[in-house]
Structure 1
Amino acid sequence: MDAALSVLPTWHQRFPLLAELVPTAGILTARAATGVVGVLLIYLGAGLRRGKHRAWQLAVGLSALSAVLHLVKGLAGAAAFGLALCALLVWKRDHFTALGDLRNRWRALRAGAMFLGAGFLLGFAEIAVRANRLVDHPGVVKWAEHAALGLVGVSGPVQFQHPMGAAAVSVTTGAFGLLAFTAAAVLLLRPGTRRRQPTPEDEARLRATLHRHGGGDSLGYFALRADKLLIWGPSGRAAVAYRVVNGVSLASGDPLGPPSAWPEAIAAWLDDCARHGWTPAVLACGTPGGTAYRRAGLDVIELGDEAIVEVPGFSLEGRCMRGVRQAVGRMRRAGYTCEVIRRGDLSADVLAEAVHCANALRVGKVERGFSMALSRLGQAADADCLYVLCRDAEGRLRGLLHFVPWGDDGLSLDLMRGDRDAGNGLTELMIVSAIEAAAGLGVRRISLNFAVLRSVFARAEQLGAGPVIRLWARLLGLVSRFWQIESLYRANAKYQPLWQPRFLCFPSARDLPRIALAALGAESFLPQRATSR
């Protein structure tokens, strides 16, 4: 309403006192401020919906300010609406208790002070350059008072010989006052984050939990990422790993610990989200985790499928494996060999070579991944991680795979790097080498890449697929040019894996756009400012 009324003509029946205090330029400032207030009230809607206390405080102040500004414009009816909105917010104040980020308060104060300072200096300078065209030649103290009052749209004590001079000063100071107010409000409402450096005790507790219960979810080890935080249930037996990204508390995978203790950990995480006004979401959880989150009140949709190779049943024989068999044979005939070795058994020189190779072969400057990536390589604490090092006939390292433990008998693919000049078949050779060596390492299952919306492509290939699913598959094929959706599915399907569904959990459909942006940011597909650690 405020945004619409800001463009309506001003009534002439203004209150006489306000007419004396607020000059013509001040009315223009009031009209602009009314529009800004209206836009900010709309902007506050998301924060109010999440129960943010700071959003409530600003909404109360803005609705009261809206009433005053409408009085300045002469719109008494609109002013009454603003007062009614203010009264309603005060009446419902118990619904807005979510905490804000204290850092945002200082950022808002700093930005507001900078704009106010700049506006004051410019207004003072404009008065100074017109010093010989002022009535009664007031001193610099009056100049400063006039510039300061202009920041809030009120006429000061300085009188100008020409109305255009007074208008110019009022517009300049009023505009900077609006900028200061708007910038401070926006910064104050920026989604909060949480920064916390994991302690050695936290990591030891998590590793102990993974040792006892890490066999259920192939993504469990990725909870050891440095940018993930943990919320433990009251009993301390289960936890949810998460990261706060732009107001979304983004968990990944199933909860950690025994399934019987998952409900209390999920409840603790949801309570933390409600306390801070964060939107809860879960990225890439499995069927057990999705069931637990749905029982806690979240909606669940299928996100894609994870490719899992059963080592005992894997074979390169048969028509369906012909392509992989030929690629592996071609690379071996060219002199390529693979070494499969645990991190704890690597020499310092070979480890340094592997880390250098991984960095050199990375496409782009950003290390992508959040839900299914560890984002580190070579640390001594990860001694059980497995490396596949592929060398050419001359002994040069041309590619590597990095797997993290999945319980006592599994591996989960973390990192894949390959030299694009090494020839077709490098990836197939490394994966097959890992599978062939797995039995001797006590590994029975290997989790490969995650294929987003795999079922769409699979159903489109079936006999009798309908036009809707075929159209959907074509659209995803176009998107795959940028995000490799279809190519990941094809790359995994050639190993004849078992497909395990992964799900996205969320509170309501209206939150999906924010969650999607947060997930893309966490996976480093979008630029992100510093977030929680």
Structure 2
Amino acid sequence: MSESAAPPAAERSPSRLTAVGAALRRYVSRNPVAIIVAVLVVASAAATGSLWGEDALIWGAGPLATFGSGRWWTLATALVIPDSAIDALSSVLLALTALAAIERLVGSRRTSVFLVVIGLSGLVVGIGLHAAAWTITDLRPVVAAEVPVLDPTTAIAGAVMAGSAFAPTLWRRRLRLVGFALLALFALYAGDADSWYRLSAAIIGLVVGALLARGRERRSWHRSSTRETRTLLALLVAVVGSGPIVALVSGGGRGPLSLVVDAYTQYDDELLSQCGRVASSVCDEQIALLMTRGAGPALLAIVPLVLLLVAAWGLRQGRRSAWIVAEFVLVASAVLPVVSLLDGRLRIDPWVDGSGAEYVLWAIATIMIPLALAAALAVARARFSVRATRRAARVVAAVVSLAFLACATTLFVVEAIGHRAFDRDVSIFDLLALTLRRFLPPAFTHPGGSTAFPHSGPALFAYQWIGVLFWAIVVAAILWLYRRSRRPDTVDDGHYRDLLRRGSDTLGFLGTWAGTSHWYSEDRECAVAYRLSGDVALAVGDPLAPEGRRAEALRGFTDYCVEHGWTPAFYSIHGETLDDLIALGWRYVPVGVETVMDLPGLTFAGKAWQKVRQPLTRAEREGYTAVWSRWHELSVGQASQVVAIDEEWVADRALPEMGFTLGSLDELRDRDVRLLLAVGPDERIEAVTSWMPSWTAGEITGWTLDFMRRRTDGPNGMMEFLIAKAALELQEEGATVLSLSGAPLADDPDEAADDDPAPLRALLRWLAEVLEPAYGFASLFRFKGKFRPRYRPLALAYRDPLELPVIGAAVGRAYLPDASRREMVALARTAWEGRR
């Protein structure tokens, strides 16, 4: 752990620049088409001026621009030239990410063909549908007058959907589900021609990809129907919630479902312009909304949409509270417009030509879609079974109630004090009605009669923002509630230890440690030990299962996690378990190496064992003995010495003590754990190790090293002495395997270096470098290499690459669960000093 081991900063910087340069060269060599598309988009935007905001529509395609004017070349330019800087940026990002991923899947040549053929086909079909829709009288009001289209994402969308047929099942579903949801969102709500052309190209690409991928062998990938249902319904709720926002941002939208935005605007411009010809009460209402427009009322108007987006987040995780929120908002959004229509407070005038299409579209967007989605959620109610704790639910109910009382009281008092800001005298009943109204979006009120409102001052400010403040508290409370889920009962009845004794691997005993829960199969013959860190279930070590049932246990535990809204991950698993998970479509990253000594026939003779034999013979010559014991067998004095050695070790580093797969004093107290003490001639304990058992058919056949501590002022070689004595004496007892445990974040020296590591593996390597000065993982790994062990790689298996950030954070919390701020600062300082 010496500082000289770290390279100087001057040497590190060039190597990092070299690594970055090599990564860029690899990216360019693997994705030439994506790079060319990005360059073409930027160059064409600069050449035509659209990058600087100039009008480049002369290069766009459309029914009139392409067919009517005979500018056939616009079919090519419309797929390359963006119409704005934002369009250029989005096209470049899509090219360098999604298109690049497809290029690596299908190859550069096929990607080029997809871009040209599917892009042109989508554009031609889109133009044809645009022209056909314009000839239908009933659709004219929702078909925009022609604005020539410039959109490189049309070709990119078609190529990505065609290439998705060749992706693994996980990414194929993700690309198609998310891709078509976004494309349909813009087409149905924003409704511009660009959106429909992109959707046409994507559909053509989907068909082309399906035809080309026929008969192609696909790897199976297990995913429970519960997870699929949650993901799909959450996505639909998010689309319904974000669709009106898209239409509002696009200026009201022209899509067939954009009529729903009328329910989320602050005031009715058309009705306001007719104030001279309608009842004064209606004028008062519209003038009130006009006078109080601004950021606050705008935010209050879209509260239902925000609640739907928040609910979608929780639905994906199976939260029952999110299901309740979504059902309430969807039903209210559908029922209240009907009530307003029936009592005459809401009017829909037919188009000038008398078409009834507007009624149909309004009913679909405002009533039918929310009700249909609410019904689907009701049918799938059992899928959203992750409940919050009763205490958390009571806390949220109390917070929301107190927030409402505080906000309502504040608004009432401020309005009462500032009554002069109103256009007329207001009674207490008027103030009460006004107070209640300001907590509901305008679409949910539509009051009849005269409405009082403030014109200026604190009363106007409170009128605008109190409701927003209350709903912000509600949203924060809901998000907090998502993190407070009930945990299943995990009473340890000793059954896990019974399964361990039936047969277990070298790291199986980790599943008995405090903080670890257990999953059992229905017949209780299979078990998985896991540690819940946030919403991530970290399975520790290999599952316990009879011969041939390991894959069944892996699937059962995964389904159990999905049911409870957790993200499953298997940590520190060996190759046999990893093979089963890979067959199920899981991915993995190395996280360490276990060092194992095979005891049959072991002797420390020969030159190769000199580094072990010398400390052993020296310690024996100087009168040191290795004493086997268990914690409950130690005398008070011996236990005190062990505690003092551990406290000295921790205090010397002033760093947080790690846990999870690294044992501490608490794990030494287990009656199945054996201690081996290095005792000097003066009866002083110089070092201590602990050993965890592993069984085969009910017999102990192996021991695993866990706890290692020695006095800082003691003689050198004590650990070599204890491990060598343990190997020899356990060999005599009949043990066949002695595991020196895993070295976290270490690489197998027998494994070839990976020139293109996965992002998480690169992160773990960097983390190992940072933590080395503090914890010495690499030094410990080199120390264990003295015993000429057999190396067994340890891996972290995960299903979804997008889950890696939360899994990484969960691993960090598991290793450092109780670290204080001072300890984390000390860790950072030690890591920094070690890297200088």
TM bin, normalised by shorter chain, reads: 0.7 to 0.9
Say whether residues 1:384 and 2:663 are aligned partners: no
Q: Deviations over 1:186-242 (max 9, x none)?
A: 12333635153525xx12x222222222xx311222222232222222222222222
CA apart distance, 1:309: 1.8
Cα distance change, pair 429–510 in 1 and its aligned pair in 2 (3 A):
same
Counterparts of 2:530 and 2:742, CA distance in 1: 19
Partner of 2:779: 487
Say whether residues 1:501 and 2:793 are aligned partners: yes
**Which of 567, 571, 575 in structure 2 is aligned with 1:283?**
571
C-alpha contact 1:341 1:388 (8 A) present in aligned 2: yes
* Identical-residue share of aligned pairs (%): 23
Moved more, 186-195 or 176-185: 186-195
Partner of 1:192: 485
Counterparts of 1:417 and 1:526, CA distance in 2: 21
Q: With the length of structure 2 as denominator, give the TM-score of the two structures.
A: 0.52
C-alpha contact 1:3 1:39 (8 A) present in aligned 2: no
Cα distance change, pair 5–452 in 1 and its aligned pair in 2 (3 A):
farther
Aligned 1:472-483 pairs, distance under 5 A: 476=765, 479-482=768-771
Counterparts of 2:396 and 2:601, CA distance in 1: 60
Select the structure of larger CA radius of gyration.
2
Partner of 1:163: 456
Counterparts of 2:687 and 2:303, CA distance in 1: 56
Counterparts of 2:706 and 2:365, CA distance in 1: 57
Counterparts of 2:585 and 2:468, CA distance in 1: 47
Aligned 1:118-133 pairs, distance under 5 A: 118-127=406-415, 129-130=417-418
Cα distance change, pair 376–237 in 1 and its aligned pair in 2 (3 A):
same
Q: Deviations over 1:452-486 (max 9, x none)?
A: 464465546xxxx68658x9889826742226553
Moved more, 41-50 or 494-503: 41-50
Counterparts of 1:30 and 1:64, CA distance in 2: 23
Aligned 1:421-440 pairs, distance under 5 A: 421-422=713-714, 425-440=717-732
Counterparts of 2:363 and 2:784, CA distance in 1: 63
Indicate the SS of the match to 2:708: strand
Which amino acid in the other structure matches residue 90 of structure 1? A
Partner of 2:185: none
Gaps of 5+ in 1: 529-533
Cα distance change, pair 167–439 in 1 and its aligned pair in 2 (3 A):
same
Counterparts of 1:442 and 1:296, CA distance in 2: 38
Indicate the SS of the match to 2:806: helix
Say whether residues 1:174 and 2:174 are aligned partners: no
C-alpha contact 1:343 1:384 (8 A) present in aligned 2: no
CA apart distance, 1:397: 4.0
Partner of 2:134: none
Which amino acid in the other structure matches residue 769 of structure 2? S
Counterparts of 2:409 and 2:396, CA distance in 1: 20
Which amino acid in the other structure matches residue 206 of structure 1? Y
Counterparts of 2:384 and 2:819, CA distance in 1: 27
Partner of 1:101: 387
Indicate the SS of the match to 1:284: strand
CA apart distance, 1:438: 2.5
Partner of 2:499: 209
Say whether residues 1:272 and 2:586 are aligned partners: no
Cα distance change, pair 312–148 in 1 and its aligned pair in 2 (3 A):
same
C-alpha contact 2:419 2:425 (8 A) present in aligned 1: yes
CA apart distance, 1:185: 2.5
CA apart distance, 1:422: 4.1
Counterparts of 1:343 and 1:144, CA distance in 2: 70
Cα distance change, pair 92–64 in 1 and its aligned pair in 2 (3 A):
closer
Q: Deviations over 1:259-300 (max 9, x none)?
A: 344455444423322322322221122233334445556445
**Which of 225, 228, 233 in structure 1 is aligned with 2:513?**
225
Counterparts of 1:320 and 1:394, CA distance in 2: 33
Cα distance change, pair 337–294 in 1 and its aligned pair in 2 (3 A):
same
Counterparts of 1:159 and 1:414, CA distance in 2: 74
Which amino acid in the other structure matches residue 529 of structure 2? A
Cα distance change, pair 377–305 in 1 and its aligned pair in 2 (3 A):
closer
CA apart distance, 1:21: 6.8
Counterparts of 1:526 and 1:191, CA distance in 2: 19
CA apart distance, 1:498: 0.8
Indicate the SS of the match to 2:530: strand
Counterparts of 1:228 and 1:476, CA distance in 2: 27
Which amino acid in the other structure matches residue 771 of structure 2? F
Partner of 2:742: 450
Counterparts of 2:725 and 2:664, CA distance in 1: 22
C-alpha contact 1:116 1:176 (8 A) present in aligned 2: no
**Which of 682, 692, 705 in structure 2 is aligned with 1:404?**
692
Indicate the SS of the match to 1:259: coil
Moved more, 27-36 or 186-195: 27-36
C-alpha contact 1:233 1:239 (8 A) present in aligned 2: yes
Which amino acid in the other structure matches residue 803 of structure 2? D
Partner of 1:86: 370
CA apart distance, 1:515: 2.2
Q: Deviations over 1:96-134 (max 9, x none)?
A: 613122325334323323433332343344335536766
Aligned 1:306-385 pairs, distance under 5 A: 306-312=594-600, 314-325=602-613, 338-343=626-631, 345-362=633-650, 367-371=657-661, 373=663, 376-379=666-669, 382-385=670-673
C-alpha contact 1:307 1:447 (8 A) present in aligned 2: yes
Aligned 1:290-309 pairs, distance under 5 A: 290-294=578-582, 298-309=586-597
Partner of 2:354: none
Aligned 1:490-529 pairs, distance under 5 A: 490-524=782-816
Cα distance change, pair 220–161 in 1 and its aligned pair in 2 (3 A):
closer
C-alpha contact 2:748 2:791 (8 A) present in aligned 1: no
Say whether residues 1:116 and 2:408 are aligned partners: no
Partner of 1:55: 322
C-alpha contact 2:596 2:738 (8 A) present in aligned 1: yes
Which amino acid in the other structure matches residue 511 of structure 1? E
C-alpha contact 1:254 1:285 (8 A) present in aligned 2: yes
CA apart distance, 1:395: 4.8
Partner of 2:269: 13
**Which of 251, 260, 264 in structure 1 is aligned with 2:539?**
251
Cα distance change, pair 319–40 in 1 and its aligned pair in 2 (3 A):
farther
Which amino acid in the other structure matches residue 296 of structure 2? T
C-alpha contact 2:743 2:781 (8 A) present in aligned 1: yes
C-alpha contact 2:748 2:793 (8 A) present in aligned 1: no
Indicate the SS of the match to 1:361: helix
C-alpha contact 1:284 1:504 (8 A) present in aligned 2: yes
CA apart distance, 1:42: 5.2
C-alpha contact 2:310 2:322 (8 A) present in aligned 1: no
CA apart distance, 1:79: 11
C-alpha contact 1:3 1:36 (8 A) present in aligned 2: no
Partner of 1:531: none
Moved more, 155-164 or 491-500: 155-164
The structure richer in helix per residue is 2
Counterparts of 2:404 and 2:290, CA distance in 1: 20
Which amino acid in the other structure matches residue 184 of structure 1? A
Gaps of 5+ in 2: 1-241, 252-264, 273-281, 341-357, 821-836
Cα distance change, pair 459–294 in 1 and its aligned pair in 2 (3 A):
closer
CA apart distance, 1:317: 4.7
Indicate the SS of the match to 1:102: coil
C-alpha contact 2:689 2:707 (8 A) present in aligned 1: yes
Cα distance change, pair 516–197 in 1 and its aligned pair in 2 (3 A):
same
Q: With the length of structure 1 as denominator, give the TM-score of the two structures.
A: 0.77
Counterparts of 1:95 and 1:299, CA distance in 2: 30
